[in-house]
Amino acid sequence: MKLINRYVTEVGKRLPLVKGRKDIENELRSTLEDMLEDHAQKSDKPADEAMEVDLLKEYGSPQKVAETYNQTPYLIGPRMFPFFMMILKIVFAAVALGLTIATAIQIMTQSPMTAIELLSAIGKGILNIFSACIAAFGNIALVFALIERFAPASEFKLDEEKEWDPASLKKEPEPTEVKAWEPIFAIVFTFIAISIFNFNPQWLSINYGDNNMWFIGFGDFAAGQKGSIPLLSEAFFRWLPWINIGWVAEIILNGMLLRTGRWQASTRLFSIAIKVLQIVIGYFLLIGPSIVKVTAESLKAIEGFDAKAAQILATMAQQGVRGLIALIMFLIAIDIIKTVVKLIRQKSSVGA
Amino acid sequence: MTNTESFENVVLELRRGVIVLAVLSQLSDEQYGYSLQKLLSDQGLEVDQGTLYPLLRRLEAQGLLESVWKLEEARPRRYYVISAEGKKLLPKLKKEWAGIVSVMDKMLA
């Protein structure tokens, strides 16, 4: 019986710390002894260690046996999990927003900063958000795990258990319907983009003045600044007329959508054509000379920039913009596929 | 998942609810765990220990069973018997079961 006793102890170690643990151990021992006796009778010989080994093998590993008694196998059970995820999303969003604002305020109030100080402040801000989210996750998971462990699930009446009213289902949106604010929003922002890129390109620049203060955007040479480095190169402005064609076409498309209030086959085809044009322009911007005028040399001219910082920032700007163009092209390509699918569906539903 | 696995999972699901009724029905006379397992097995219902013992504890916690330790053959054994509450519930469960069988018989005929 030595093996049985050791086996029962091993199972006991793995049982949850609940009332009745000793009871489970005693019952298990009693059952195993009954079974061993039964095996001995059947084989017509006294129980020995080999028989015990066979029996325990048949009964299963101590871990497996202990698991069958585990009434709370979940850290956070399926009943609480949707609520847990909802809280997690809200807290993550609040933490990220709060710390982003705090970092921005810190950067603004600590100006003037050198490039390295700025990069380090941004890096610290990102790290803070990351570690705060991990801490928040740990705390929320702990609270939910405690609730799961100590409060019976039946005491929680979550939303799905309240009396449900089918009237709460919102009207299914018409797949071709266009909400008025969407084209208005698109038109306004396209106009802003056209006016900045065509008529105020000096706004897209790194500006620096006295006290080593520097900032991106809205440069004004007349305001007594020491200097300004345009962000975009000649390569970009060579393609600007084509980009303008795309933007004007976008304004026309959104005007049509605003007037009709819904997507039609013609507007979808027009939208695909504009997106194809944008991808072609993106391709030429990507393979051609860099559209970013910021170089290590131009940055070094700014007081407070050391050579290393200038090199890092210039490389980040050059490669970052190329990456951004590639990402935008990819998103536009996905949008084209979506529009084609919608066009096919629209045509087949009209035909049906 | 293979066909055999799917079959086994479905069978497991089917048996899960039935075992509660089977156990309650066999505990009008007191039984200890191993004797109950043999009793069920003799009547054609194989239930492994990993299912039976935690179920007995659960049913006792729900007040449907009562248990008592007795010393027999120099070995302590825990005997289970259906409680007053369990006795009230059993006829309702039987009726429910008969309804399910009748519906399924018609459906599968």
Note the pLDDT tens digit of each residue in B67-99: 999 987 778 899 999 999 999 999 999 999 999
pLDDT of residue A221: 44
The Cα A200–Cα A191 span in angstroms is: 13
Angle between helices A307-351 and A115-150 (to 10 degrees): 50
The Cα A114–Cα B76 span in angstroms is: 80
- Average pLDDT estimate for B46-65: 92
Nearest to A239 by CA among A191, A192, A286: A286
CB interface of B with A, residues 82-101, below 8 Å: none
Residue that wins the pLDDT comparison between A185 and B83: B83
Q: What is the pLDDT of residues A129-154, one digit of tens each?
A: 899 899 889 988 988 888 877 765 55
Structure tokens at A301: 């001219």
pLDDT of residue B39: 95
pLDDT of residue A222: 45
- Given a cut of 70, whether residue A209 has pLDDT beyond it is no
User: Under a CB-based contact definition with an 8 Å cutoff, are residues A251 and A191 in contact?
Assistant: yes
Count Cβ neighbours within 10 Å for each residue of B75-84 and write b for 16 or more, e otherwise. Answer: eebbbbebbe
Is some CB atom of chain B closer than 8 A to the CB atom of A4? no
Beta bridge partners of A206: A216, A229
Is some CB atom of chain B closer than 8 A to the CB atom of A277? no
Identify all chain A residues contacting B62, using CB atoms and an 8 Å cutoff: none
Q: What is the pLDDT of residues A295-316, one digit of tens each?
A: 877 777 766 667 777 788 788 8
Please answer yes or no on whether A30 and B32 come within 8 Å at the CB atom.
yes
Chosen from B12, B70, B77 to mutate, greatest number of chain A CBs within 10 A: B77
Is some CB atom of chain A closer than 8 A to the CB atom of B72? no
Is some CB atom of chain A closer than 8 A to the CB atom of B69? yes
User: Under a CB-based contact definition with an 8 Å cutoff, are residues A304 and A114 in contact?
Assistant: yes
Structure tokens at A201: 């390109």
CB interface of A with B, residues 66-85, below 8 Å: 68-69, 71
- Average pLDDT estimate for A312-335: 88
- Average pLDDT estimate for A87-103: 85
Residue that wins the pLDDT comparison between A99 and A208: A99
The Cα A275–Cα A272 span in angstroms is: 5
State the nearest Cα–Cα gap between A27 and chain B, in angstroms: 7
Nearest to B74 by CA among A30, A301, A187: A30
Nearest to A68 among B32, B54, B77 (CB): B54
**Which pLDDT band, with edges at 50, 70 and 90, does A1 fall under?**
low
Is some CB atom of chain B closer than 8 A to the CB atom of A39? no
CB interface of B with A, residues 40-59, below 8 Å: 49-51, 53-54, 57-58
The Cα A30–Cα A35 span in angstroms is: 9
Is some CB atom of chain B closer than 8 A to the CB atom of A10? no
The Cα B31–Cα B41 span in angstroms is: 14
State the nearest Cα–Cα gap between A22 and chain B, in angstroms: 13
- Count how many residues are written for chain B: 109
Mode of pairing for the β-strands spanning B31-32 and A227-230: unpaired
State the nearest Cα–Cα gap between B52 and chain A, in angstroms: 10
- Average pLDDT estimate for B42-70: 92
Chosen from B31, B32, B34, B37 to mutate, greatest number of chain A CBs within 10 A: B34
Identify all chain B residues contacting A60, using CB atoms and an 8 Å cutoff: 50
Angle between helices B49-61 and A21-43 (to 10 degrees): 140
State the nearest Cα–Cα gap between B77 and chain A, in angstroms: 6
Backbone angles phi, psi at A170, to 5 degrees: -75, 155
Q: What is the ipTM of this complex?
A: 0.85
pTM above 0.80, yes or no: no
Residue that wins the pLDDT comparison between A107 and A31: A31
pLDDT of residue B71: 86
Identify all chain B residues contacting A20, using CB atoms and an 8 Å cutoff: 57
Q: What is the pLDDT of residues B1-39, one digit of tens each?
A: 577 888 888 888 888 889 999 999 999 999 999 999 999
User: Under a CB-based contact definition with an 8 Å cutoff, are residues A144 and A84 in contact?
Assistant: yes
Identify all chain B residues contacting A27, using CB atoms and an 8 Å cutoff: 33, 53, 78
Nearest to A65 by CA among A10, A1, A3: A10
Nearest to A102 by CA among A91, A90, A94, A112: A94
Please answer yes or no on whether B75 and A30 come within 8 Å at the CB atom.
yes
Strand order in the sheet with A205-208: A214-216, A205-208, A227-230
pLDDT of residue A83: 83
Residue that wins the pLDDT comparison between A109 and A262: A262
pLDDT of residue A173: 61
User: Under a CB-based contact definition with an 8 Å cutoff, are residues A32 and A24 in contact?
Assistant: no
Structure tokens at B92: 């309702």
Please answer yes or no on whether B78 and A65 come within 8 Å at the CB atom.
no
Identify all chain A residues contacting B75, using CB atoms and an 8 Å cutoff: 30, 33-34
State the nearest Cα–Cα gap between B76 and chain A, in angstroms: 7
